[in-house]
Structure 1
Amino acid sequence: MTEAGGVDSLYWWHDTAAGGDVHVAFTSVRAGNLARHVGDEDVEQIEVRRRALQQRMGVEPGTLRFLDQVHSATVLDAAAHPASPGAAPTGDAWFSRAGAEPLAIMVADCLPVLMVGRTASGGTSRAPGGEALVTAAAHAGRAGLLDGVLENTVAALHEYGAERIQAWIGPGACGSCYEVPAAMRDELAVRRPAIASETTWGTPALDLRSEAEEVLRGRGVEVRQLAGCTIEDDTLFSHRRAPGEGRFAGLVWRAR
Structure 2
Amino acid sequence: MFWWRKEVRPGISVAFSDDDAGNLALHVADNPDDVMARRVRLEAAAGLGERHFQYMNQVHGKAVEFISVHGDGPTADAMVSRGQPLAVMVADCVPVVLLGDVEDESDPVLAVVHAGRPGVAADIVSATVVNMRSRGAATISAWVGPSICGACYEVPEQLRTDVVAAVPETWSTTSWGTPALDLPAGVRAQLEAVGVTVEYSGECTLETARLYSYRRNQQTGRFAGLVWTHE
Whole-angstrom CA distance in 1 between matches of 2:27 and 2:225 = 17
1:71 partner SS: coil
The number of aligned residues is 231
Q: 1:161: how far off?
A: 1.2
Q: For residues 61 and 72 of structure 1, what CA distance do their matches in structure 2 show?
A: 31
Deviation at residue 132 of structure 1 after TM alignment: 4.5
The aligned counterpart of 2:70 is 83
Structure 1 residue aligned with 2:104, among 112, 115, 124?
Answer: 124
Pairs within 5 Å for 1:166-245 = 166-245=141-220
**What runs of 5+ residues in structure 1 fail to find an aligned partner?**
1-9, 126-130
Q: CA RMSD in A?
A: 1.3
**1:184-223 Cα deviation digits (max 9, x unpaired):** 1123223321010000000000000111011000000001
Q: Once structures 1 and 2 are overlaid, which stretch shifts more, 105-114 or 226-235? A: 226-235
Cα deviation code 1:100-129 (max 9, x no counterpart): x1100000000000000113xxx416xxxx
Counterpart of 2:48 in structure 1 is 59
Of 8, 14, 17, the residue aligned with 1:17 is: 8
- Between 149-158 and 182-191, the greater mean CA deviation after superposition: 182-191
Instruction: Find the aligned partners of 2:52 and 2:166 in 1 and give their Cα distance.
Output: 40
Task: Quote the Cα distance in structure 2 between the aligned partners of 1:132 and 1:90.
Answer: 25
In 2, the alpha carbon distance for the partners of 1:144 and 1:210 equals 14
Q: Distance in 2 between matches of 1:183 and 1:66?
A: 33
**What is the DSSP-based 3-state SS (H/G/I as helix, E as strand, rest coil) of the residue aligned with 2:114?**
strand
Shift of 1:146: 1.2
Counterpart-to-counterpart distance in 2, 1:191 and 1:105? 24
The match for 1:107 among 90, 103, 124 is 90
> Greater CA radius of gyration, 1 or 2?
1
Helix, strand or coil for the counterpart of 2:137?
coil
- Structure 2 equivalent of residue 128 of structure 1: none
Deviation digits for residues 205-254 of structure 1, max 9, x if unmatched? Answer: 00001110110000000012323101110100011101122000000000
Q: Indicate conservation of the 8 Å contact 1:134/1:162, yes or no.
A: yes
